[in-house]
């Protein structure tokens, strides 16, 4: 069983809370993936979705407007958002967009293991590969874990198999559909 303290340090959690409440804070653009998520839910027969690192919750909001036939439950988790910070339950599909580049390097293996424990059928992952204009309170780059696609593929490869890699801005982001090891296809 994973503990919240394994996923994010207390100091960095405070930083994330501050960034999420700032004007033009981040975590507000998950909605742009709603069509992809809806299509994957149908393809993989997913009745439940967890938005992991949901930020402001725009993905769930968009999915609730027009959930599609398959989706029964939409849940959200973000340790920096009040009301969404309790460790979540599993879901058929876990969505993790624009999150991993914000994870502390020493916490990446624990976060990937956590995603693996929560994902029943598929994980839809989007990881930025480039710096952002946003900065931490100390002035440093907000994308604290920048790596190439191959690095992320290998890191996730310990828990997941690649089902599909999407070539949506491949020079800027790694977008993939992953299946947890041992999951039923």
pTM score of the predicted model: 0.94
CA 142 – CA 76 distance, rounded (Å): 22
Nearest to 173 by CA among 105, 126, 104, 123: 126
DSSP state of 142: S
pLDDT of residue 67: 62
> Architecture of domain 44-161 in CATH?
3-Layer(aba) Sandwich (3.40)
CA dihedral over 60, 62, 65, 67, signed as positive or negative:
negative
Mean pLDDT across 56-73: 82
Q: Residue 16: pLDDT above 80?
A: yes
The per-residue pLDDT for range 118-167, each reduced to its tens digit, is 999 999 999 999 999 888 989 999 999 999 999 999 999 999 999 999 98
pLDDT digits (tens, 9 = 90+) for 98-132: 999 999 999 999 999 999 999 999 999 999 999 99
Tokens of 109: 């293996």
């Amino acid at each position: 069983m994973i503990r919240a303290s394994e996923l994010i340090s207390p100091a960095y959690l405070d930083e994330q809370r501050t960034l999420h409440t700032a004007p033009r804070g981040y975590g507000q653009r998950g909605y742009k993936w709603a069509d992809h998520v809806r299509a994957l839910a149908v393809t993989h027969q997913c009745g439940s979705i967890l938005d992991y690192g949901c930020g402001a919750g725009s993905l769930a909001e968009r999915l609730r407007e027009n959930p599609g036939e398959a989706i029964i439950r939409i849940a959200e988790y973000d340790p920096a958002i009040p009301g969404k910070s309790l460790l979540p339950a599993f879901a058929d599909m876990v969505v993790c967009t624009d999150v991993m580049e914000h994870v502390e390097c020493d916490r990446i293996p624990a976060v990937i293991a956590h995603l693996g424990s929560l994902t029943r059928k598929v994980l839809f992952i989007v990881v930025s590969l480039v710096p952002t204009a946003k900065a931490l309170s100390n002035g440093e780059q907000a994308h604290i874990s920048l790596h190439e696609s191959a690095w992320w593929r290998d890191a996730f490869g310990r828990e997941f198999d690649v089902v599909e890699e999407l070539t949506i801005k491949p020079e800027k982001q790694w977008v993939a559909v992953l299946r947890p090891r041992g999951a039923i296809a």
